Amino acid sequence: MSYFTDLAQQYIDGEWRAGGGSWDIIDVNPYNEEKLASITVATVGEVDQAYRAAERAQRAWAETNPYTRRGVFERALRLIEEREAELAEAIVAELGGTRTKAGFELHLAKEFMREAMGLTLRAEGKILPSPIDGKENRVFRTPVGVVGVISPFNFPFLLSVKSVAPALALGNGVVLKPHQNTPVLGGSLVAKIFEDAGLPPGLLNVVITDIAEIGDALLEHPVPSVISFTGSDRVGRHVAQVCATHFKRAVLELGGNSALIVLDDADLDYAVDAAVFSRFVHQGQVCMAANRVLVDRSVAEAFTEKYVAKVRTLKSGDPADPATHIGPLISSAQAEAVTAVVDQTVAAGATALVHGRTEGNVVSPSVLTDLPEGAPALTQEIFGPVALIIPFDGDDEAVRIANDTPYGLSGAVHTGDVERGVRLAHRVRTGMIHINDGTVHDEPIVPFGGEKHSGVGRLNGEATVDAFTTYKWISIQRGRSGFPF
């Protein structure tokens, strides 16, 4: 099948159909700007239909034997494995991912589908003691009901699966809205996998639309109890405000400005490899990317020389070419924004050790140093292939610089003394930090999420169970209670 021809539709209540809006989202290959698909947007009415379908289907699904539910995820995993080559081609075409990036995304998607299989059996209950004689307290984990999922463009298949699969595994219904730049990989392809795996109709619905058409209907609708959003902190702030107003739980996985810290006793060659990958994987369009490389001044010259030399070996261009390291950014607007950050930072006094060029949506790497104090690039998230090298004097200054940002998602520390690295890591205000490794990691059973503007809540493993279930207390009084009146 042709994914971009056959799946350019809405998926509501088990049916593939055109949206009812008056305009189309045009899905474009970001490298050559060829049109992949045209999808008529879903309306507010269709968002309502999707949520109502999920609400109806969820009741029976929650009562389905969890071993039966598990079978759906086993089949979904097999389908991803069987279609892996086709999915990789779609990643290259729709989001400009390189071959390496496609393999990385699909590997993690399979791991999260395996974890979802186990989650079908993880909503365990408890019997708790009571201070009242004859009373038994039973505490149950129950599905929240319906979950709204809003996924981003950078890892659309993975990050849709990461919320959709566990929400379904735990007995919920789901309405998924993918990013308008990746409507097939982030939306309709996920629905197709689950449809072919035998998921009952109505449980998973995909609405491909835009805020210009539906406003906040996806957030304000009375049916969903939880909204799982992955994207920018600017939009995340709005999602949080709307959810709070409507008494909904919001799980927010937002942006980052991670620091990879190289101490004076680090293995410099290894630190260079980790830092280059952590900054330039998927063109730097990764929330965990090492925007800032902090290097002890005593080794800064040697590290920088090695770092720049490795960056100069990275090939930019066609993501379909297996030799390409840096493909296109997702859109011309993103390419222009990243180019402007580099130009403005250099104009303000920074030194460009490598000054990238922009050709179409392909922005080749830049490496900047000697940034003036207070430069906006130091504290913001740069969603593109731009690295900042920042010398520091001693561990205390490294911690101060690492924490000098509104974000707190990931990070890394490179050192020959692991426990020194752990002590420093504890002082960096971030949700995740890795000793002698890169900053870009995600594992299915380890809590994933950030501090400050990088998000609210966690996903993965037990954190996912917390996100997509709620507690119900049922007590039993054996014998008669005494009442004061």
Give the active site residues.
253, 287
**What ranges make up the beta strands (E) of 152-216?**
173-177, 204-206
| CB-based contacts of 82, cutoff 8 Å, min separation 6 | none
Element (H, E) at 386: strand 386-392
Residue 246: how many other CB atoms lie within 10 Å: 14
Q: How many CB atoms lie within 10 A of CB 89?
A: 14
> Residue 460 CB: number of other CB atoms within 10 A?
20
Q: What is the DSSP string of 51-88?
A: HHHHHHHHHHHHHS-HHHHHHHHHHHHHHHHHTHHHHH
Indicate the angle between helix axes 418-427 and 395-403, nearest 10 degrees: 40
Q: Parallel, antiparallel, or unpaired for β 204-206 and 173-177?
A: parallel
How far apart CA 208 and CA 12 sit, in angstroms, is 11
**Which residues, 6+ apart, have CB-to-CB distance to 212 below 8 Å?**
none
The residue assigned the tokens 């197709």 is: 192
Angstrom CA distances, 426 to 212, 264, 400, stand at 43, 18, 13
CB 444 within 8 Å of CB 463: no
Burial class (CB in 10 A: 0-12, 13-18, 19+), 205: buried
Tokens 């969903």 — which residue?
A: 224
SS3 211: helix
d(CA 461, CA 448): 9
| SS3 of residue 210 by DSSP | coil
Helices 297-311 and 268-280, interaxial angle, to 10°? Answer: 50
Degrees, nearest 5: CA angle 184-159-37: 10
